[in-house]
A and B are shown apart, each in its own frame.
Chain A
Amino acid sequence: MPLAGDDLISVAVADPQTAQALAAVLRDSGEWLEAVAGIDSVVVRFDLASVARAVAETRLKHATASVAVRPVRTGVVVKIPVVYGGEFGPDLERVCEKLGLTLREFVALHTGEYTVEMIGFTPGFAYVGGLDDRLIIDRRPEPRQRLPAGSIGIAAGRTGIYAMPGPGGWPIIGRTSRRLFDAGCKEPFLLSAGATVIFTASDTL
Chain B
Amino acid sequence: MTIIVLKPGLQTTIQGRPRTGQRHLGVPTCGAADPLSMALANRLVGNSSLATALETTLTGVALAFECDTFVAITGANADCKLNGDPVTQHTTIVVRRDDQLTVGSAQNGVRSYVAFAGGLDADEVLGSTSTYLPAEFGGHNGRSLETGDELRLRNAAAVAPVEETPVEFRALMLDAWSLRAGHSCETKCVMNPDCLFEHKFKVTNRSDRMGIKLDGETIRTDSDGQMPSAAVFPGTIQCPQDGSLFVLSVDAGTTGGYPRVAKIARMDLHALGQLRPGNTLTLIERSDADAARELQDKHAYWQAWLPDISQVI
Task: A83 to B162: give the CA distance in the assembly, Å.
Answer: 60
Given contacts A36-B255, A119-B26, A141-B242, contact A7 B21 (CB under 8 A): no
Question: Which of B134, B265, B292 interacts with A164 by CB under 8 Å?
Answer: B134
Residues of chain B with a CB closer than 8 A to A8's CB: 184, 233, 263
CB-based contact B266/A6 at 8 Å: yes
Count residues of A near B (Cβ-Cβ below 8 Å).
55
Q: Which of these binds chain B: A66-74, A92-100, A105-113, A122-130?
A: A122-130
Residues 162-184 of A contacting B (Cβ, < 8 Å): 163-167, 169, 181, 183
Judge if A156 is at the interface, Cβ distance under 8 Å.
yes
> What's the count of A-B pairs with C-beta under 8 Å?
175
CB-based contact A183/B142 at 8 Å: yes
Task: A3 to B137: give the CA distance in the assembly, Å.
Answer: 33
CB-based contact B253/A41 at 8 Å: no
Judge if B229 is at the interface, Cβ distance under 8 Å.
yes
**Of all chain A residues, which has the CB nearest B135?**
A164
Residues 27-78 of A contacting B (Cβ, < 8 Å): 27, 33-43, 45, 48-50, 52-53
Task: A138 to B225: give the CA distance in the assembly, Å.
Answer: 9
| Nearest CB in chain A: distance from B303 CB, A | 11
CB-based contact A7/B254 at 8 Å: no
Task: A124 to B295: give the CA distance in the assembly, Å.
Answer: 33
CB-based contact A49/B296 at 8 Å: yes
CB-based contact B230/A23 at 8 Å: no
Given contacts A36-B231, A43-B233, A120-B253, contact A6 B25 (CB under 8 A): no
CB-based contact B135/A183 at 8 Å: yes
Question: Which of B138, B226, B230, B253 interacts with A138 by CB under 8 Å?
Answer: B226
Judge if B299 is at the interface, Cβ distance under 8 Å.
yes
Hey, what's the 0/1 contact readout for B203-246 against A, CB within 8 Å counting as 1? 00010001000000000000011101111110110001110000
Judge if A199 is at the interface, Cβ distance under 8 Å.
no
Residues of chain B with a CB closer than 8 A to A53's CB: 288-289, 292
Task: A50 to B296: give the CA distance in the assembly, Å.
Answer: 9
Judge if B183 is at the interface, Cβ distance under 8 Å.
yes
**Of all chain A residues, which has the CB nearest B132?**
A123
Task: A181 to B19: give the CA distance in the assembly, Å.
Answer: 17
Residues of chain A with a CB closer than 8 A to B263's CB: 4-6, 8
Count residues of B near A (Cβ-Cβ below 8 Å).
57
CB-based contact B137/A121 at 8 Å: no
Judge if B126 is at the interface, Cβ distance under 8 Å.
yes
CB-based contact A125/B226 at 8 Å: no
Residues of chain B with a CB closer than 8 A to A50's CB: 310
**Of all chain B residues, which has the CB nearest A189?**
B25
Question: Which of B138, B235, B253, B260 interacts with A121 by CB under 8 Å?
Answer: B253
Task: A167 to B251: give the CA distance in the assembly, Å.
Answer: 11
Task: A125 to B25: give the CA distance in the assembly, Å.
Answer: 9
Given contacts A8-B263, A10-B230, contact A2 B185 (CB under 8 A): yes
| Nearest CB in chain A: distance from B35 CB, A | 14
**Of all chain B residues, which has the CB nearest A39?**
B228
Judge if B27 is at the interface, Cβ distance under 8 Å.
yes
Question: Which of B125, B235, B257 interacts with A139 by CB under 8 Å?
Answer: B257
Task: A167 to B254: give the CA distance in the assembly, Å.
Answer: 12
> Interface centre among B184, B258, B291, B295, by most A CB within 10 Å?
B184
Judge if A203 is at the interface, Cβ distance under 8 Å.
no
Judge if A142 is at the interface, Cβ distance under 8 Å.
yes
Judge if A86 is at the interface, Cβ distance under 8 Å.
no
Interface residues, chain A, with chain B CB atoms under 8 Å away = 2-8, 10, 23, 27, 33-43, 45, 48-50, 52-53, 118-125, 127, 138-139, 141-143, 145, 155-156, 158, 163-167, 169, 181, 183, 188-189
Give 28 pairs: A residue, B residue, CB < 8 Å, sorted on A: A4-B236, A6-B263, A6-B265, A6-B286, A6-B288, A8-B233, A23-B24, A33-B20, A34-B20, A34-B21, A35-B24, A38-B231, A39-B229, A39-B230, A41-B231, A45-B233, A48-B295, A118-B255, A120-B253, A121-B254, A123-B26, A138-B224, A155-B257, A156-B228, A163-B26, A165-B134, A183-B126, A183-B142
By Cβ-Cβ distance, the 8 closest A-B pairs, closest first, are A5-B263, A38-B230, A36-B231, A6-B291, A43-B231, A39-B228, A120-B255, A183-B137
